[in-house]
Chains A and B, each alone.
Chain A
Amino acid sequence: MPPSSGPRLSGMQKQVLNLYRGFLRAARSKSAEDRPKIESIVFVEFRHNAKQVDRKNFIYIGYLLHRGKKQLDQLKSLDTISLSSFDLGLPQTKHTKH
């Protein structure tokens, strides 16, 4: 690959961005009604974590990536339209997990 003219991204950052892209792609395949809902949750989740999670907290980011990938698979494979399963426990405190 030629040296990038863009910002230098770490492998982990690339993974996160690829995951983000994956979610937005998956959202496209949903109905016009569900898509905005899914997208808004994805936006919020990624923004939230981008702000809240320490960029050096690789273990936690790795966990989020792993979890995100599984959720993405679910979103893709099922005709998932329900978002309740997708309403994630946000990092620490914010949400109670069920």
Chain B
Amino acid sequence: MPTVSASYATFTSPLRLTFPTNQVALKASNLKMVSMGWAKNGFPSLRTSRFRVSCAAKPETVQKVCDIVRKQLALPDETQLTPDSKFSALGADSLDTVEIVMSLEEEFGISVEEESSQNITTVQEAADLIEKLVQGKPEA
């Protein structure tokens, strides 16, 4: 049990995501159970192996993504834009989302798979994916 709460704390703080402790604590003797908990909470694309990377999304990446999203959607300055902002809530349709992803690709010099790009709905998700791709990119 102490082990579980330890990992609970580690994952929660950087991502600001919470899931009910009891759900994890019930039988969560390994990380797989934790990842199941995530799936139930609507973060299915995150698996245990990606946790480390996901947590690592740097503030400057998030900021850069925010800037691009703001520019792409022509958001007025007073619009609040947080990492959790959903593109759709900002008035983006699916075409806008494609455009955002395309701009991000250019900005960061990466190539986003079609499947993953359709799963991006928030700034945070975009930043996480970018970090992952930038890390995976061979040094040119």
| Given A9-B118, A46-B95, A47-B95, A2-B102 contact (CB < 8 Å) | no
Interface residues in B108-133 by Cβ distance below 8 A to A read 114-115, 117-121, 125
A17 within 8 A of B: yes
A20 touches B42 (CB 8 A): no
Q: A18, A24, A46: which contacts B102 (Cβ < 8 A)? A: A24
Q: B93, B102, B120: which contacts A6 (Cβ < 8 A)? A: B120
Binary contact track A4-44/B, C-beta < 8 Å → 1, others 0:
11110100011001101100110010000000000000000
Count: A-B pairs, CB below 8 Å: 50
Interface size class of B (residues with CB under 8 A): 20 to 34
In the complex the two chains form, what is the Cα distance from A18 to B95 in whole Å?
Answer: 10
In the complex the two chains form, what is the Cα distance from A33 to B72 in whole Å?
Answer: 20
B118 touches A17 (CB 8 A): yes
* CB-CB nearest 7 A-B residue pairs: A2-B44, A6-B121, A24-B102, A3-B44, A6-B119, A20-B98, A4-B119
8 CB contacts below 8 A, A to B, read: A2-B39, A17-B94, A17-B98, A21-B101, A24-B102, A25-B102, A47-B95, A50-B93
Interface residues of A (CB under 8 A from B): 1-7, 9, 13-14, 17-18, 20-21, 24-25, 28, 46-47, 50
With A1-B115, A20-B98, A50-B93 given, name 11 new contacts (CB 8 A): A2-B39, A4-B118, A5-B42, A5-B121, A5-B125, A6-B118, A7-B94, A9-B94, A18-B114, A46-B95, A47-B95
